[in-house]
Amino acid sequence: MPGQLTLLDAPSLWYRAFHGVPESITAPDGSPVHAVRGTVDLIARIVRDTRPSRLVACLDLDWRPAFRVAAVPSYKAHRLAENGAEAEPPSLAPQVEVLLQVLEAVGITTAGVPGYEADDVLGTLSAREAGPVDVVTGDRDMFQLVRDEGPVRVLYTVEKMKPYGEAEVAGKYGIPGTAYAEYAVLRGDPSDGLPGVRGIGDKTAAALINRFGTVDAIVAALDEGVVDGFPAGSRTKLEEARHYLAVAPAVTRTVRDLPLPPLDDALPAQPLDPARLVELSDRWGLDSPLSRLLEAIRAASDG
């Protein structure tokens, strides 16, 4: 889909690189740079293979937003360190700082909003784009962003950049292609600390979404005393989970209307700050991955 806007779930990419590239890869001074090199190489591959005309790296400026924790206190609670911050490997944060400096010097636009996750930036930018969009992520929650009109597709890094549109989401989960966030409320997601409705598994969740469409419509059916369309035993379980059903959609649904200004997101034909990029490359030993990234950018810019 050449010429599209490509949105990178930057935290997802650098975590994947951190855990997927050997930590033995270091800078000249011995500092770990495996996450930096891995992320730069992954961006180079994305640009080379998909040739976007615009590119934005979306950031978490709050990895556990207060409004989501207020809705479901267990949200990402298993990732908390004793001091209340996100538990992460000690060598990751310094590498993220280097990576952000590299992106800035190359001229790749970054975007984040205080109090919100990268998910919400991805949701907002994809929602306001009329043309084609690629969302690159390893987070299946972002399947909710797919749509045929545009189109918006997810390049899912967990499955070697497999593209997901509405048809692929429907085929994988047995639900309408745009209904993943509703399905996730019912089924839950242990990786995010989202409990789901007790006793509701994948098949029942899919059946409910196919019948009612949204969590709000399920709650409305409970309010109206509707009996038809509920799989055996599920109505009672849903009645018992009314409070959860009222608040959990705020956790799974991305925000689509963040106050993001227009972005200068054109894929840079040349590095924005060549001298700074050379300095970073020399200091951190990034010559090879940066050469691959700049080559991919030049090829995409040349059409």
* 119-155 pLDDT per residue, tens: 999 999 999 999 999 999 999 999 999 999 999 999 9
- pTM for this structure? 0.96
What's the pLDDT score for residue 3? 87
What is the per-residue DSSP string for 239-279? HHTHHHHHHTHHHHSPPS---PPP---BPPSS-S-HHHHHH
What is the per-residue DSSP string for the chain? -TT-EEEEEHHHHHHHHHHHS-TT-B-TTS-B-HHHHHHHHHHHHHHHHH--SEEEEE--S-SS-HHHHHH-TTTTGGGB-TTSSB---TTHHHHHHHHHHHHHHHT-EEE--TT--HHHHHHHHHHT--S-EEEEES-GGGGGG-BTTTTEEEEEGGGTTEEE-HHHHHHHHSS-TT-HHHHHHHH-BGGGTB---TT--HHHHHHHHHHHSSHHHHHHHHHTT--TTPPTTHHHHHHHTHHHHHHTHHHHSPPS---PPP---BPPSS-S-HHHHHHHHHHHT-HHHHHHHHHHHHHHHT-
Residue 85 predicted with pLDDT over 90: no
What's the pLDDT score for residue 87? 86
Return the domain boundaries, the chain. Answer: 5-173+255-301, 180-252
Would the CATH topology of 5-173+255-301 be identical to that of 180-252? no
pLDDT band with cut points at 50, 70 and 90 for residue 82? confident
**Fold adopted by 5-173+255-301:** Rossmann fold (3.40.50)
Residue 11 predicted with pLDDT over 70: yes
pLDDT band with cut points at 50, 70 and 90 for residue 265? very high
Mean pLDDT across 256-276: 96
Mean pLDDT across 222-239: 96
pLDDT in tens, 103-116: 999 999 999 999 99
Percent of the chain predicted with pLDDT > 70: 99
Mean pLDDT across 77-82: 90
Mean pLDDT across 160-185: 98
Percent of the chain predicted with pLDDT > 90: 95
Name the superfamily (CATH) of residues 180-252: 5' to 3' exonuclease, C-terminal subdomain (1.10.150.20)
What's the pLDDT score for residue 1? 60
